[in-house]
Structure formats: C-alpha cells, structure tokens
Amino acid sequence: MECLAITAAVLTISDKGAMGRRVDEGGPLVCELLRGIGAEVLFTEIIPDEKEQIKARLIAMCERVDLVVTTGGTGLSPRDVTPDATLEVIDKEVPGIGEAMRSEGLTATRRSMLSRATAGIRGSALIVNLPGSVKAVRETLAVILDVLPHAIEKIKGSTSDCGR
C-alpha cells in the first residue's frame, strides 16, 4: 500500500511569542515530531491569542495543508481561546483526540484535566490543538502521532477498512 504524503502547518498561539518576548520551543518540537511520521511542514507561524486572528489563520491553512497543529491557548486563562476559535471553524469535531491526550496526560499530572484542547475537521484538513508547554507538547503529541496518518487518510476519502 502506498504511503500517504501529509502536508502540515504549525501555529504557535502566544502573545509573548508573537511580540518576540518568548522563544517558541513548542512549535519547533511539533515540526520535529511531525517530520518523524513523514509529514512535510510547509508553514510555521506565531500569532497572538486573538480569537479572530486564530480563526483566520486556521481557515487559510486548512485550504493549503492536510494537518494544522496549534500549540498554546488551550488552558483556562481569559486569553486562552484556541479551542474556541477551532470549534467555530470546524465542520466536524473529533473528540477522541482531545480525550486521549487528556487521559494520557493524567498519568503525568492531574492538571491535564484542565486542558481544553480539541480537534476537528475543516474541509479536508484536520486541526489539532496542543497545550503550550514543551513538556505537554511532547507528551500529548506522542499519544496521537501514530493515528494522524490514518485520520488524514480517512478525511481524504479512503474507503479501506479501519480494522487491523
């Protein structure tokens, strides 16, 4: 069976990062991990925690890539609006992705239950929200990384059976 080529965009959502007051470590880590499954990261960007700007970038990126991964803005603070923006632009929610990341995260910290990270489909692209900390990016992406190619294959219209 031919391997699916995955194109991706990584959006870091951070007020301090967008202002140049914090070095983005999460975005580059996401890129590294995605390349590990053969994904080609075409775009990376750091934008502030502004809901309308996040929505606009998600919409634009979904027209150009198969997978958009965000890092940051998934917590409880008033400026954490990434999941809210995501939910406003997706056609279908994929709740199992967020549930799996939170479930696995609970093995490391009980604070994982405070994450509002979500995932969903817009058009033929998958959007996945990750937390902002490097540790959380590594741990949560590890939970779903091997499932992403299959998810994208199905979103693209594969009719192959899902059973192993």
With 60 as the cut, is the pLDDT of residue 3 above it?
no
Whole-number pLDDT of residue 87: 98
- What is the pTM (predicted TM-score) of this model? 0.94
Report residue 162: phi and psi, to 5°.
-85, -20
Each residue's pLDDT tens digit, 111-132: 999 999 999 999 999 999 999 9
Is the Cβ–Cβ distance between 156 and 124 less than 8 Å?
yes
Band of pLDDT at residue 1, cut at 50, 70 and 90: very low
Report pLDDT for 161: 62
Amino acid 158: pLDDT:
76
Q: How far apart are CA 142 and CA 104, in angstroms?
A: 10
Q: Which helix (H) or strand (E) holds 137?
A: helix 134-144
What 3-state class would DSSP assign to 68? strand
Looking at domain 7-155, which CATH architecture does it have? 3-Layer(aba) Sandwich (3.40)
Query: Where do the domains of the chain lie?
Result: 7-155
Q: What is the pLDDT of residues 50-109, one digit of tens each?
A: 999 999 999 999 999 999 999 999 999 999 999 999 999 999 999 999 999 999 999 999
When pLDDT is cut at 50, 70 and 90, the band that residue 4 belongs to is confident
Q: Would the pLDDT of 19 be above 90?
A: yes
